[in-house]
C-alpha cells in the first residue's frame, strides 16, 4: 500500500480489511483529484492528521476505488468516514472546517471501544 507524501495512506479495496484490522481508529477521506472542494479540504485533513499521529488517516480516490465508494455509500465528495473498533461511528459528506474535524475526533476518542467492537462483530454476523 503506497504512502502519500503527506504521511496519509492511500487506501485500496484489496487492503481495506487488513488496514481496518490493524487500526483501532481510522479516518477515511473520499475524494478525487479533479474535485475543487476535495483539494481545498485536503489542507485541513492533512493538518489534522499531523496533529493526531495516534490515528490512522487514509485517502480514497473514488474513481480508482469504486468498491470502497459503494461500500461507504459515497454520493458526494469530499466525504469523511470515521471508524473506531471496526465500527463506522461518523460519516459526513462535504468539507469540514479543521476545528469541526478535531471536535469529531475528540468525541470519537471518548467512545467505549469494546462496545463498538461487539456491535461491529454482531453486524458482520
| Active site (annotated) includes residue 38 | yes
Q: How far apart are CA 11 and CA 100, in angstroms?
A: 23
**Active-site annotation holder among 38, 59, 104, 120:** 38
Q: How confident is the model at residue 3 (pLDDT cuts 50, 70, 90)?
A: very low
Q: What integer pLDDT is reported at residue 111 of this predicted model? A: 86
Residue 4 within any structural domain of the chain: no
Residue 63 C-alpha from the chain's centroid:
16
Residue 3 within any structural domain of the chain: no
Residue 62 within any structural domain of the chain: yes
**Residues 103, 80 contacting (CB under 8 angstroms):** no
Looking at every residue in the chain, the average pLDDT score rounds to 90
Q: What integer pLDDT is reported at residue 7 of this predicted model? A: 66
Q: What integer pLDDT is reported at residue 1 of this predicted model? A: 37
Residue 18 C-alpha from the chain's centroid:
14
- Picking from 27, 52, 48, 32, the residue whose alpha carbon sits closest to that of residue 98 is 48
> Domain range holding 118?
9-124
**Active-site annotation holder among 9, 11, 28, 35:** 35
CATH assignment at residue 57 = 3.40.30.10
Domain count, the chain: 1
Q: How confident is the model at residue 2 (pLDDT cuts 50, 70, 90)?
A: very low
Residue 104 within any structural domain of the chain: yes
Residue 1 within any structural domain of the chain: no
Residue 2 within any structural domain of the chain: no
Reported as a single tens digit per residue, the pLDDT across 60-115 is 999 999 999 999 999 999 999 999 988 899 999 999 999 999 999 999 999 888 88
| Active site (annotated) includes residue 120 | no
**Which residue would you say has higher pLDDT here, 116 or 99?**
99
Q: How confident is the model at residue 5 (pLDDT cuts 50, 70, 90)?
A: very low
Largest separation between any pair of C-alpha atoms in the chain: 39
Instruction: Say what percent of the chain tops pLDDT 90.
Output: 78
Amino acid at each position: 500500500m503506497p504512502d502519500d507524501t503527506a504521511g496519509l495512506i492511500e487506501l485500496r479495496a484489496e487492503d481495506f480489511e487488513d488496514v481496518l484490522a490493524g487500526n483501532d481508529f481510522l479516518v477515511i477521506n473520499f475524494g478525487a483529484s479533479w474535485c475543487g472542494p476535495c483539494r481545498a479540504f485536503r489542507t485541513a485533513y492533512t493538518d489534522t492528521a499531523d496533529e493526531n499521529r495516534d490515528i490512522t488517516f487514509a485517502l480514497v480516490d473514488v474513481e480508482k476505488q469504486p468498491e470502497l465508494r459503494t461500500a461507504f455509500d459515497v454520493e458526494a465528495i469530499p466525504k469523511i468516514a470515521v471508524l473506531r473498533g471496526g465500527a463506522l461511528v461518523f460519516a459526513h459528506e462535504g468539507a469540514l472546517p479543521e476545528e469541526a474535524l478535531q471536535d469529531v475526533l475528540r468525541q470519537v476518542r471518548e467512545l467505549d471501544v469494546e462496545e463498538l467492537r461487539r456491535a461491529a462483530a454482531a453486524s458482520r454476523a
